[in-house]
Amino acid sequence: MRPFTYEVPSSIQEATSRGGADAAFIAGGTTIVDLMKLEVMNPSRLVDVNPLPMLGIQMREDGLRIGALEKMSDVAEHPEVVANYPVISEALLQSASAQIRNMASIGGNLLQRTRCGYFRDVFTPCNKREPGTGCSAIDGENRMHAILGTSSSCIATHPSDLAVALVALDASIYIQNGAEERVMNLDDFYLVPGETPDHENQLRPGELITAVRVPRLLWARRSTYLKIRDRESYEFALTSAALALDLNGDTIRDVRIAVGGVGTKPWNLPEVRQALAGKPLKPETFAAAAKLAVNGANPLRHNGFKVDLVQRTIVRALMNLGGLA
């Protein structure tokens, strides 16, 4: 860990003015402190956002609003979230551990960094950590890495489960820059690596995420998050699917679906949605639609199984949520 100063701003505006390329915000600290110890992130100033007014979980006319500082555990257990968006609650409850969820914030969760082992080891080349040094994972150990949205520069998976659920639900985030606020669709917010894997999203230095907004979607009451992993708890996804299903008897009226563990960003699947809309609720429909999820997949030496597994994950989620299992 390199030496740093610790600053506590008293307003959101002050916080954004204190932010910058040499600074980092700290919320729950479960990502940033970890990466500072590994010397992967070396801010010379740490700006504590915890005192800022970015709390609240409210169900409103236009949907659900979650303050960026709300803890993962509080959101997961909130009655409105559990009732209206089970997919959010389930995604959170299958994330990390109880201890981490009690510390970690929603804003921090969306901005957590990849779990690529080379990114986290400063003695190995990594384009995301140190642009231009190369990607160790492409020819190295890549079982956990992405098959979608990859480039020859980086194949790192976006690790957040919550983000997958939010992207499926077409959520947006509120971004504050000085006195200025903008709202951005979360799917657009995240970037694929391309030639600049260090550039992960559209947040500019000093900008704060203040809240998340999830549009009202009555049928999201029938939604679920299915996470496939090597152990039952406390592990990132091999593959995952966030799914909401709107049924009309035995016909699928509409679907929201995104997958995790396979993309360099939370992977929204509008093609799968289209393929399912209006179709009968039948396993054959599911399998055909799930195939579309892996269009353009680029598997490597150790992660080829994800091409098949992610389709199975989608089918299993559809079977369960559709009551066919």
Ligand X SMILES: Cc1cc2nc3c(=O)[nH]c(=O)nc-3n(C[C@H](O)[C@H](O)[C@H](O)COP(=O)(O)OP(=O)(O)OC[C@H]3O[C@@H](n4cnc5c(N)ncnc54)[C@H](O)[C@@H]3O)c2cc1C
Q: Which residues bind another protein (CB under 8 A)?
A: 1-3, 39, 115, 117, 123-124, 139-141, 228-235, 238-239, 283-284, 287, 290, 305, 308-309, 311-313, 315-316, 319-320, 324-325
Site for ligand SF4 (CB under 6 A): how many residues? 14
Structure tokens of 65? 């609003």
Contact partner, 135, from ligand SF4, another protein, ligand X, none, Cβ < 5-8 Å per class: ligand SF4
If residue 182 lies in a helix (H) or strand (E), which one and from where to where? strand 180-185
Q: What is the residue-wise DSSP string for 241-303?
A: EEEEEEEETTEEEEEEEEEESSBSS-EE-HHHHHHHTT-BS-HHHHHHHHHGGGTT----TTT
Task: Considering the complex, state which of residue 229 and residue 279 has its C-beta at the smaller distance from another protein.
Answer: 229
CB of 269 to ligand X, least distance (A): 19
| Beta carbon of residue 280, minimum distance to ligand X (angstroms, whole number) | 34
Q: Supply the minimum distance, in Å, between the C-beta of residue 141 and ligand SF4.
A: 10
Q: How far is the CB of 10 from another protein (least distance, A)?
A: 29
Question: Tokens standing for 144?
Answer: 């956990």
**CA 218 to CA 216: how far, in whole Å?**
6
Of 47, 92, 137, 255, the one binding ligand SF4 (CB under 6 A) is 137
DSSP string, 55-105: --EEEETTEEEEETT-BHHHHHH-HHHHHH-HHHHHHHHTSS-HHHHHH-B
Six-digit token pair at 116?
Answer: 């690529």
* Nearest distance, CB of residue 128 and ligand SF4, angstroms: 4
Question: Do 287 and 313 touch, CB atoms closer than 8 A?
Answer: no
Residue 298 Cβ, how far from ligand SF4 at the closest point, in Å?
12
Q: What's the Cα-to-Cα distance from 172 to each of 79, 94, 141, 188, 254, rounded to whole Å? A: 21, 22, 34, 9, 20
Q: Is 131 helix (H, G, I), strand (E, B) or coil?
A: coil
Answer yes or no: are the C-beta atoms of 155 and 137 closer than 8 Å. Answer: yes
CA 29 to chain centre: 17
Judged by beta carbon distances under 5 to 8 A according to partner kind, the member of ligand X, another protein, ligand SF4, none in contact with residue 271 is none
Q: Which of another protein, ligand X, ligand SF4, none does residue 309 bind to, with CB < 5 to 8 Å depending on kind?
A: another protein
Q: Is 144 in the site for ligand SF4 (CB under 6 A)?
A: no
Which residues contact ligand X (rule: CB under 6 A)? 24-32, 34, 49, 68, 72, 95-96, 100, 103-105, 107-109, 111-112, 159-162, 208-209, 236
SS3 22: coil
x/- binding map, residues 170-199, to ligand SF4, per CB under 6 A? ---------------------------x--
Smaller CB separation from ligand SF4, 114 or 223: 114
Per CB under 6 A, residues contacting ligand SF4 are 114, 116, 118-119, 126-128, 135-137, 154-156, 197
